């Protein structure tokens, strides 16, 4: 059965709830970047961006590696996989209810006449 209690889901959804962090994910999807790169791109102090990167890293959405003085950030290998999987499993669980409702709406839209149906 689907589990809703998961510290990992807590962490990754929380990580995704901030627009700056979603922006960082998008950026890293284009190309890897240092903390300095990201801080400049998002008009933020180095320290501030570092915190965001830590949050993304703890959520498993990003991995980093420090070489010399530079810490390079890249997209986590399985980024969004667990989260997307959680969502899909729920949408499938709920599909019966959703589809029933979708049908009603579809009928209303297409036929432009009244549909009587109760749950």
Partner DNA sequence: TGCATACTGAACCATATGGTTCAGTGTTTA
Partner DNA sequence: TAAACACTGAACCATATGGTTCAGTATGCA
Which chain residues interact with DNA by CB under 7 A?
14, 17-18, 20, 34-36, 39, 44-48, 50-52, 55, 66-71
- Smallest CA-to-CA distance from 26 within 90, 97, 81, 79 is with 79
Q: Pick between residue 82 and residue 104 the one whose CB is nearest to DNA.
A: 82
Question: Which of these segments, 49-57, 65-73, 81-89, 110-118, binds its own copies (CB under 8 A)?
Answer: 81-89
Determine contact, residues 86/3, Cβ cutoff 8 Å: no
**Under the criterion CB under 8 A, does residue 99 sit at the interface with its own copies?**
no
- Hey, is 31 helix, strand or coil? coil
**Under the criterion CB under 8 A, does residue 60 sit at the interface with its own copies?**
no
Helices (H), the chain: 7-16, 19-30, 35-41, 46-58, 81-93, 95-111
Burial class (CB in 10 A: 0-12, 13-18, 19+), 3: exposed
**Under the criterion CB under 8 A, does residue 115 sit at the interface with its own copies?**
no
Q: Pick between residue 51 and residue 97 the one whose CB is nearest to DNA.
A: 51
The residues that touch its own copies, with contacts defined as CB under 8 A, are 2, 4-6, 9-11, 13-14, 16-19, 22-23, 25-26, 29, 75, 77, 79-81, 83-84, 87-88, 90-91, 93-94, 97-98, 101
């Amino acid at each position: 059965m689907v589990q809703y209690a998961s510290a990992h889901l807590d962490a990754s959804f929380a990580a995704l709830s901030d627009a700056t962090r979603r922006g960082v994910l998008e950026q890293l999807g284009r190309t890897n970047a240092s903390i300095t790169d990201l801080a400049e791109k998002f008009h933020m102090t180095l320290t501030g961006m570092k915190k965001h990167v830590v949050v993304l890293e703890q959520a498993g959405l990003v991995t980093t590696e420090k070489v010399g003085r530079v810490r390079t950030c890249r997209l986590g290998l399985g980024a969004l996989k667990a989260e997307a999987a959680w969502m899909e499993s729920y949408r499938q669980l709920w599909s019966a209810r959703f589809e029933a409702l979708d049908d009603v709406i579809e009928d209303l839209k297409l036929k432009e006449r009244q549909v009587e149906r109760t749950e």
